Amino acid sequence: MPVQDNKRQKVIMTLTSGDVANANKLQRWSSSRSKAAAVSKALSLSTAIIDEIDAGKDLYVRNKNGDFERLIITKR
């Protein structure tokens, strides 16, 4: 497990309108207080998924019918 550094670092980004829409959706979905908090949660989730893939694990989601579907995520 990587070491977590709780020091804060300011990051300034220029976002497309699509990125802003995604940040808004993440904020609403996660009930985050800010877009920054929502993006932080998304980064943590992305890192966790990457760690699972790198460990050779498969990822599955359950669809509305209760069946499992395997997710295929590849590196570029």
pLDDT of residue 71: 94
Cβ neighbourhood burial of 75 (10 Å; 0-12, 13-18, 19+): exposed
Instruction: Name which of 36, 71, 75 is nearest 57 in CA terms.
Output: 71
Q: Along the 76 residues of the chain, how does pLDDT read in single tens digits?
A: 556 667 888 889 899 999 999 999 999 999 999 999 999 999 999 999 999 999 999 999 999 999 999 999 888 7
3 state SS of 68: strand
3 state SS of 52: helix
pLDDT of residue 6: 75
pLDDT of residue 1: 53
pLDDT of residue 2: 57
Q: Read off φ and ψ for residue 46, nearest 5 degrees.
A: -60, -45
